[in-house]
Amino acid sequence: MKNTLEIEGVILEYNQKSILQDVYLKCETGHITGLLGRNGSGKTSLMNIIYGNINAKNSSVRINSNVLHQNYRNPEILRYLPQFNFIPKNFKIKRIFSHFRLDFDEFITLFSGFEKYEHSTIGKLSSGEKRIIEIYCILCSESQFCLLDEPFSQIMPLHIETIKQLIIREKKNKGILITDHLYQHIIDICDEIYIIKDQKAYLTKSNSDIESLGYISA
């Protein structure tokens, strides 16, 4: 089944400073939608508005034309990977995979070396290893949409390629919205990319569009 996530009319201000003005964005099942912009342009804020963590001055978030009024987002509809580690340090790896209804054995076929952590707490892992588990759990667990904020940061290049292939695999089942300052990875895998510039969001279809908006040089 194809699902559509839309956010429209976003107006966000901090301390009387305008951050986002009349922003529109759409993400659909089967699509990886990228979100790029300079530091401080409002990318993370926009994701948090979609997820319900931030109340904007104005916004309309809809799934299949149905407005999401409540701040709480049902994880079967929408999951969010924030920039920071979010799983409590005392949680055991086995418990984490059980919570997300995921198979740890499948995970270690993709990320070898993690098998020794099955009965450890996630706090025993390095920041990069924690990040890999959190990305996998958010990306691969059941949901209609997935928001990924900086998934490639702190990740080894070898694992980045595995994560990119997982994102491509998972788009068959859900819509994926992703942002990262390592923009080449975004360009590589996305079906469409929005650029936030001057408080607006611009839909691009090619590198030339991204260049014309001044995000990358020719």
- What integer pLDDT is reported at residue 171 of this predicted model? 96
**What average pLDDT does the segment 135-145 reach?**
97
Asked if residue 218 has pLDDT above 60, the reply is no
Mean pLDDT across the chain, nearest whole number?
A: 93
Residue 213 — pLDDT band, cuts 50, 70, 90? confident
User: In percent, how much of the chain has pLDDT > 90?
Assistant: 81
User: 72 Cβ partners below 8 Å, 6+ apart?
Assistant: 52
Helices (runs of H) and strands (runs of E) counted in the chain: 7, 10
Q: What is the pLDDT of residue 209?
A: 87
Phi-psi region of 70 (alpha: psi -120 to 50; beta: other; left: phi over 0): beta
Longest dimension (CA), the chain: 51
pLDDT computed for residue 22 by the predictor: 94
pTM for the predicted model, two decimal places: 0.94
143-158 per-position pLDDT tens digit: 999 999 999 988 999 8
User: Higher pLDDT residue, 205 or 102?
Assistant: 102
| Structural domains of the chain, ranges and CATH numbers in brackets | 4-212 (3.40.50.300)
Q: What confidence tens digit (pLDDT) does each residue in 54-98 have?
A: 988 989 999 999 998 877 789 999 999 999 999 999 999 999 999
Alpha carbons 158 and 112: distance in angstroms, whole number? 11
pLDDT band for position 11 (cuts 50, 70, 90):
very high
pLDDT digits (tens, 9 = 90+) for 188-202: 999 999 999 999 999
